[in-house]
Amino acid sequence: MSAGTTTASPPPFWRRIDPAKLLPQLIAPVAALLLAAVISWIALSLTGKDAAQAFSDMLDFGTQPDSIVEILNKASEYYIAAVAVAIGFKMGLFNIGVEGQSKIGAFMAGALASASFMSWMPGSLRIVLIIVVAAIVGAIWASIAALLKTQRGVSEVISTLMLNAIAGQVVTWLLNDHWGVQQPGAQIKTTGVLPESSWMPGLPIVSGTDQKVLGFLAIAAVLGVVYWFTINRTRFGFDLRATGYNPFAATASGVSAKKMVITAMVISGAIGGLVNLPRMLGETHTYTEGFGGIGFTGIAVALLGRNHPVGMALGAILWGFLARSQLILDLDGIPKEIVVIMQGVAVLSVVVAYELANRIGRRAQQKRVGAATAAPVGSAPLATASEESK
């Protein structure tokens, strides 16, 4: 573009929103969730359970103050995992290894921070140390997969899955044979309890309960903002999305695909390393082998929220709600496992729904562009078309 032709400022953002494209995108997740609810309803009814009762109990229990605290706690873990996954997704890179990155990151950070030679360190500095170490270890673990992909052409899907399994065993080995400590009366070994000065304080933001929300929620929220800014407002974010949309065009415009893979994977792994920290810093104050499973939930939440910072936040809260409110079902004699089905159906139908929404949106747009370009002679059809297709 030459300077002379670009005097007009870009249109304000609301003009760039295309309702015909946006509406299906908003309807899609709602439709998918409804489908998931209907299928769970049918599954419950087929097995002779009272579905209406189950759903209303879940809603009652899930909206009590104590539940809201726990939902937000879970959501902050899920959200961090989802952001880690989404950074890869944005460029068509599948980091299925958040599970392993989160385990090994939290474990190494926990082991280092509770080691006796670290006892001189003031509490708040130790919190920073834990966050930094967990991120670095997660990044290093993810970079193995990145290097295998760029140097040896090994699919990151396979390598991150293998690295998950390896991370789990390495942690088990180091915890049980080397660095683990058994607290008096405890059955299992952990990395040793952090001194009380480095426990992250909770947030008393839910009224009606004494319980506090894990302090890491604030960091998760900041992470969401940084994620949004990086993806949408930085050169790196642009390159990332460009590589995702069309790797060939991105390469042609000077983006190094290898460099993008490594950078994206390292950032994704660094965030992945943080996933277990909300609990470790605010609740357990030590690494236990009870941590796990959140990496895969992160994939589901990223898919559900379409890698969008707000969408993923809603997805994380929804998943947190389902995980919390299912606890009431066992008291009613209804298998709480129905929630796992609900989640699975929701994820599968949401990806189908988004794909359909894309198609519908694209078709509507094509139709309008077609109608515009077929307009009467003299109405500058080409200009209209290029305007519309933005």
Partner 1 sequence: MSTDAMLSAVAAGPAAPKRRRMSTSRILLIIAGTLIGLSLVHLLTGADDVTSQGAIQAALQAAVPIGLAGLGGLWSERAGVVNIGLEGQMILGTWFGAWGSLNYGPWVGLLIGIAGGAIGGLLHALATVTFGVDHIISGVAITLLAPGITRYLSFIVWGSGGATQSPALKPDQTVPRVSVPFVDKLAGLEKHHWFLVSDLAGVLRGLLVDVSLVTVLAVLLIVGTGLVLWRSPFGLRVRSVGEDPRAAESLGINVYKYKYYGVVISGAMAGLGGVYLSTVSSVIFREGQTGGRGYIGLAAMIFGNWRPGGLALGASLFGYTDALQLRRGSESVHALLILVGALLLALAVWEFVRRNTVVGVAAGVLGILSYVIYFTVDKIPTALVQATPYITVLVVLALAAQRLRMPAADGKTYRRGG
The footprint of partner 1 (CB under 8 A) covers 43, 47, 94, 96, 148, 151-155, 157-159, 161-166, 169-170, 172-173, 176-177, 296, 299-300, 303, 330, 335, 337-338, 340-345, 347-348, 351-352, 355-356, 359
Say which residues have a Cβ less than 8 Å from residue 364's Cβ, sequence separation at least 6: 20, 21
Can you say how many angstroms the Cα of residue 162 is from the centroid of all Cα atoms in its chain?
20
Tell me whether residue 40 or residue 198 sits nearer to partner 1 (CB atom): 40
The minimum distance between CB 172 and partner 1, in angstroms, equals: 4
Strand-pairing partners, residue 181, are 190
In the DSSP assignment, the letter for residue 97 is T
Instruction: Please write down the long-range contacts of 166-170, taking CB distance under 8 Å and 24 or more positions apart.
Output: 166/100, 167/97, 167/99, 167/100, 167/101, 167/103, 167/104, 167/141, 168/100, 168/103, 168/292, 170/104
Q: Which residue has the tokens 């953002």?
A: 13
Closest distance of CB 209 from partner 1, Å? 30
Instruction: Find the helix or strand (DSSP H, E) in which 125 lies.
Output: helix 123-152
Task: Compute the distance between CA of residue 70 and CA of residue 328 in angstroms, rounded to an integer.
Answer: 14
Question: What does each C-alpha distance from 206 to 202, 212, 368, 370 come to in angstroms?
Answer: 11, 7, 48, 53
For partner 1, give the closer residue by CB, 198 or 243.
243
Query: Residue 333 CB, nearest distance to partner 1 (Å)?
Result: 9
Whether the CB-CB separation of 101 and 295 falls below 8 Å is answered with yes
Dihedral, 163, 166, 171, 172 alpha carbons, nearest 10: 150
**Least spacing, CB of residue 152 vs partner 1, in Å:** 5
Distance from C-alpha of 275 to C-alpha of 101, rounded to nearest angstrom: 9
